[in-house]
Structure 1
Amino acid sequence: MNKAIILTTVLTASLLSGCAQQGLYGTSYSRDQVRQAQTVQYGTIESVTPVVIEGRDDGVVGAGTGAVVGGIAGNQIGGGSGRTLATVVGAVAGGLVGQRIEKSATTRQGQELTIRLDSGRVVSVVQEVDNGQFFRPGDRIRVLGQGSSLRVTY
């Protein structure tokens, strides 16, 4: 029984640490974006709207880990065919709970920025709020771009 509790604790910790996602703010880069040329434009923030960036719900980490944890917990109940049923029910319930935990853990506060570029063109960019610091209308900013992907920094 103690081994099951330890394993359940380890798997739960793995679930929560696996839910961390790369930052979606202006100063965060994926490995694929490093050393890639980007265009640089300057502009002024016209408006800022707080938004919520939905968390991941593909279930790869959350549902998988939750199913394992739930299955282990269910396996500790009863015996024979009752134990098998409890294991299956535990795995399904754990998978659903794990998926919800993953989505909640990866939901982020974002901001939709409407920007008037110095060229006169107006663009909108949504990105994660970096350390609780929102851009404000009138801020002079840089817009970095590569293809259709843009990021805003000071």
Structure 2
Amino acid sequence: MSKSIVVGSVLAVLGLGGMAFGAWQVQESRQPQFADITGVEPLTRTVETPREVCENVVVQRQAPTRDPHSVVGTAAGAIVGGLLGNQVGGGSGKKIATVAGAIGGGLAGREVQQRVEAGQTVSTTEQRCHTVTDSHQETTGYEVSWRYDGQSHTSRLDQRPQGETVRVVNGEPQWGEPRSQS
């Protein structure tokens, strides 16, 4: 056989083998690539909501007085004091004792009336309101850890990823596409 036929045949075989290898590589690179999802952590924030709470409360208040100047107590005390003072002494001393008894009795009667009225109370029901704050945790997204081509990565997503893998195109995860391997 001629040397050129042998060399041509060898080159043809090598060329066909190279094309077949190249086609296999292209087909292999067209196969879907997937990354493993290694962790999913919810991202949360605290939401506080104020609301008003009202309740009825029984309240004790001082009863209103019918005699704000304590005239009745003063008059009654003056009469009793004057009568008692009149029982003491004789002559002009009796008059002084009567006047002193009336003055002292009036002061004492006014004080007694004020103390009695201060102890008198009235119960009423009042509505009292105050603001309380309710709080709860709200999920705002997810921090997703994934491993591809021997390296670890992290992405933040609005939705929790489904499954245990994610499709990767040109090194980027495709979170919105189906992740199942066929």
- Shorter-normalised TM-score: what interval? 0.3 to 0.5
With normalisation by structure 1, the TM-score equals: 0.40
With normalisation by structure 2, the TM-score equals: 0.34
Larger radius of gyration: 2
Q: Could you say which structure has the higher strand fraction?
A: 2
